[in-house]
Amino acid sequence: MTIFKEYSNYDAIGLAEMVKTKQVSLHDVLDSAIDKIVKNNSKLNFLTTELFEFANESKKQIDIENQPFAGVPMLLKDMDSSLAGYPMMQGSKYLKNTVQPFNNVLTDRFIKSGALICGKSAAPEYGLMITTEPKEFGVTKNPWDLNRTTGGSSGGSASAVASRSVPIAHASDGGGSIRIPAACCGLVGLKPTRGQISFAPSHGDKWAGFTHSGVVSRTVRDTAYMYDEIFGSEVGDPYKVDHVKGSLTKDLDLPPKNLRIGFVNKTYIEGTELNENASKALLFNASACEKLGHKVEELNLKYDAITLSRAFVIIMTSHVSQMFNELKDFVGRSYKNNEIEVGTRMFDYLGKTFKGSDYTWARHYTQKVSRDVQEQMEPYDAVIMPVITSEPALLGSITPSQMDTNINRIIMNLGLGWIFNIPSVRNKILDGLAPKSLWFAPGCMLQNITGQPSISLPIYWTEQNLPIGVQYVGSYGSEALLLRLSKQLEDHYEWKKKIPSL
């Protein structure tokens, strides 16, 4: 094994350039990545499946001259994109002995870019938590503080990239799962516009269009170049956004001028207020944009976040139930209770309890709010909003309490789901859950519902050297502008120079 000592100093495009100019070999880069992955994973637990042999075989097909990420090591999140011949376990014991029969289109696009998939990154069970602490695979730790969360559900990918084990990794976002890990781990995390990336061939959409695929990276240019490779719809996709390849990287270094930027310095669910550090992070970002010559003004969005979260839960749990119907056919049997976490089983139970009229109301309500919110944001080129309400939370503080777990067991064991068919009772229960379950990242689901692009940037760091990312939300298809603004901010604040001590 040959170790390229400067491996961790380069982002993905930088490594590809080193390979193309023959300053380092494909073998040196991959060997260095494997060495880093093994060493750092022993401390951080971000990997579920080693794919080192797959990466070694894949490098034989690399076209150094024509693939922008030729020889760049990356991780594939262990959900939302399958790799033929390997498991996609989704943080669950139920899927540990299964093997995927095909590649998703997204997996093929990663491979076509020249990236070398070195492993599968950890995720909470079925991506249902905003912290990566699945019972079957254990806790994933934050490189900036091993006692703190990496966020979820793309927490394994974020931990691997933040620790400089790989420069870029697959991520996906159904309620903040790209942006929350990026915010917790000091990374760039862009949730793209709905329809930019295909779920073919297995799905048209996921969670009624709320789920989006993408990556987390350390630099804006890595994000821009990779999205240029993976954007694009397929025949039969329910949403289509026209994308011209190269449009995200063209003029990336040209700073935008005189933007009008909205600024939202609060959450909209009582009991989920920003702490002092999170408020400072937002104010710092607003000030940073003003210093760059942009006009920043406060925006008071008007929407009912409690009712919106209720609708979100109805849609999400309904799709969890449908997922288990699909998995039953795939695995060949239903899950056993000891194979699925109690909280996940409760989501499945609720999804089977809600009626079709509940689901259609939720779809109607989320689409109405989506239109209203986008109309309010229409005057702005971008809107600054919170991602997380504090510095990265302590491990164990986001997962369900023992009391919640016991209550869920009682409801399921006694068959009390019928109470959710009484609208007044259902609404009171779900509305009460919102501040309790969303306290760490209450606002992220809004952009999943609207489908707008949103990028989390690590501009602000606390006195304890912990990142608090803040998101910049744009209009449909405005990724190029968001990336140019992000690059302008990155050039001034140089977060890529920050390195965790491991």
Residues 172/211, Cβ–Cβ less than 8 Å: yes
Residue 434: pLDDT band by 50, 70, 90 thresholds? Answer: confident
Range of the domain at 52: 1-502
Q: E strands along 317-397, which residues?
A: 382-386
In 45-142, alpha helices (H): 52-58, 105-112
- Listed in sequence order, the residues at least 6 apart from 488 whose beta carbon sits closer than 8 Å to its beta carbon are 255, 256, 292
pLDDT, one tens digit per residue, over 303-347 is 999 999 999 999 999 999 999 999 999 999 999 999 999 999 999
In this prediction, residue 215 carries a pLDDT of 98
Residues 156/134, Cβ–Cβ less than 8 Å: no
Residue 464: pLDDT band by 50, 70, 90 thresholds? Answer: very high
In this prediction, residue 435 carries a pLDDT of 87
CATH number, domain at 297? Answer: 3.90.1300.10
Query: Residue 305, SS3?
Result: helix
- Listed in sequence order, the residues at least 6 apart from 440 whose beta carbon sits closer than 8 Å to its beta carbon are 130, 131, 180, 388, 389, 390, 393, 398
Whole-angstrom distance, CA of residue 297 vs CA of residue 384: 10
**Total domains, the chain:** 1
Q: State phi, psi for 152 to the nearest 5 degrees.
A: -155, 165
pLDDT, one tens digit per residue, over 240-267 is 999 999 999 999 999 999 999 999 999 9
Residue 436: pLDDT band by 50, 70, 90 thresholds? Answer: confident
In this prediction, residue 443 carries a pLDDT of 87
Q: Is residue 1 pLDDT above 80, yes or no? A: no
pLDDT, one tens digit per residue, over 175-201 is 999 999 999 999 999 999 999 999 999
Residue 31: pLDDT band by 50, 70, 90 thresholds? Answer: very high
Q: Is residue 381 pLDDT above 90, yes or no? A: yes
> 296 - beta bridge partners?
261
Residues 230/68, Cβ–Cβ less than 8 Å: no
Q: Is residue 496 pLDDT above 80, yes or no? A: yes
* Type of residue found at 325: N
